[in-house]
Amino acid sequence: MKRITILKRDINFTNLNGFSSSLQHSLRIRDKDIDNVMYDQELTSNNKIFYKNEINDLDTSDENQKILNEIFEKISTSSSENTKTEEEKKNANNLKSYKNKLKNFYSVADDDVKDFVISTMQNFKKFDENNYREFLIANSISLKSVKNQTALMKKFCDASATYEASSKKNNIYNANQVKEVILVIPKKNGIDVSEKTNSFLLKTAIDFYKENHPNNEILIAFSHSDETTNHCHLFLNLRNSKTNKFDFVEQETELAEKNQTMALRNKPKFEDFKTEKRKDSVAKKLLLNETQKWRGETLQRLFYQHFNKSAKEQAMNFEAVFNVKDSSNEDAYKFMNEQSKLPKEKRQLNMLHLQTETIQKKIEVSKAVLSEESEKTTNAIGTRNKNQIVIERQKDVYSRKNKELSELKLEVERYNKEKEKKRTEIKRFEEDLKKLKQEETTHKESIKSFTQEYCAKIFDEMRVLYLQVLGLKPFFDRALKNSRLGKIFLKNDALDEDEFIARVKDIVKDKSVTALEFYCSIDRHYDKKDKDLEARTKNLLREEVKHRAANNKNSKNEWTENLDRSAPSSKVENEDSHKLKNT
Q: What is the pLDDT of residues 420-464, one digit of tens each?
A: 999 999 988 888 888 888 888 887 887 777 777 777 777 777 777
Reduce the secondary structure of 322-333 to three states and give it as a string: CCCCCCCCHHHH
Name the residue among 49, 42, 53 with its Cα closest to residue 66.
49
Angle between helices 195-212 and 280-313 (to 10 degrees): 130
Q: What is the pairing mode between strands 2-4 and 318-320?
A: parallel
Please name the CATH architecture into which domain 1-83+173-245+337-348 falls. 2-Layer Sandwich (3.30)
User: What is the pLDDT at residue 575?
Assistant: 46
Q: Are 237 and 192 in contact (CB under 8 A)?
A: no
Per-residue CA distances from 499 to 173, 386, 494, 507, 539 (Å): 157, 125, 9, 12, 15
CB atoms within 10 A of CB 445: 13
Distance between CA 501 and CA 544 in Å, rounded? Answer: 11
Reduce the secondary structure of 4-27 to three states and give it as a string: ECCEEEEEEECCHHHHHHHHHHHH
Name the residue among 195, 201, 180 with its Cα closest to residue 307.
201
Q: Are 551 and 541 in contact (CB under 8 A)?
A: no
How does pLDDT run across 495-523, given as a tens digit for each residue? 666 777 887 788 877 777 777 777 787 77
CB atoms within 10 A of CB 23: 26
The tally of CA atoms less than 13 A away on the side-chain side of residue 56 is 11
User: What is the pLDDT at residue 221?
Assistant: 96
Distance between CA 310 and CA 201 in Å, rounded? Answer: 9
Distance between CA 278 and CA 555 in Å, rounded? Answer: 129
Report residue 57: phi and psi, to 5°. Answer: -70, 145
**0.75 surpassed by pTM:** no
Q: H or E segment at 237?
A: strand 230-237
Q: Is the dihedral of CA 525, 530, 536, 540 positive or negative?
A: negative
Distance between CA 300 and CA 304 in Å, rounded? Answer: 6
- Residues of the chain with pLDDT below 50 are 33, 37, 173, 487, 489-493, 567, 569-583
Segments making up each domain of the chain, as ranges: 1-83+173-245+337-348, 86-166, 350-386, 444-582
The DSSP-derived string for 126-157 is G--HHHHHHHHHHTT--HHHHHHHHHHHHHHH
Q: Counting runs of H as helices and runs of E as strands, what totals does the chain give? A: 20, 8
